[in-house]
Amino acid sequence: DGGITQSPKYLFRKEGQNVTLSCEQNLNHDAMYWYRQDPGQGLRLIYYSQIVNDFQKGDIAEGYSVSREKKESFPLTVTSAQKNPTAFYLCASSIRGVDEQFFGPGTRLTVL
C-alpha cells in the first residue's frame, strides 16, 4: 500500500536535547513538507522540499533542520535552539509543489 509514514507517534525528550522525526513516503512524490500544529491552531510551515538535495525554509524554520538525501525521506531535526518545541508535527507530500497534499499520521513531541 502506498502512503506516508511518520515515526514515532509519541515522543518525549528532555529539554536541551536534539531529536529527529522520521517521515517516509512511497508515493513517488517529488514534494515534501513539514508543519507544526499547536493546540487549537492551524498548520505552520517549517520546511519544504521540491526535489532531492534541495529544500527551503517556511515561516518558522528557526530551531529546526532538515535533509532530503532520498526522494522517499525527509527527516526533521528539532534542535535545542527551538524555544518551545512541544507540538504536533505533521509531514506531508504531494506529486509536485502546489498540489493535493497527503499527510502522515503525525508525531506528538513533548519536551519535558
Partner 1 sequence: GQNIDQPTEMTATEGAIVQINCTYQTSGFNGLFWYQQHAGEAPTFLSYNVLDGLEEKGRFSSFLSRSKGYSYLLLKELQMKDSASYLCAVGGLDNNNDMRFGAGTRLTVKP
Kindly list the residues in this chain that would bind partner 1 in the complex (CB under 8 A): 31, 33, 35, 40-45, 48, 50, 56, 58-59, 90, 97-106
For the bound state, the minimum distance from the C-beta of residue 16 to partner 1, rounded and expressed in Å, comes to: 28
Reduce the DSSP state of residue 100 to 3 states and report it: coil
| Cβ-based nearer residue to partner 1, 16 or 40 | 40
For the bound state, the minimum distance from the C-beta of residue 75 to partner 1, rounded and expressed in Å, comes to: 18
| Cβ-based nearer residue to partner 1, 18 or 95 | 95
- Dihedral sign for Cα atoms in the order 39, 45, 50, 53: negative
- Roughly how many angstroms between the first and final C-alpha of the chain, as a whole number? 36
For residue 3, which of 22, 21, 29 has the smallest C-alpha distance?
29
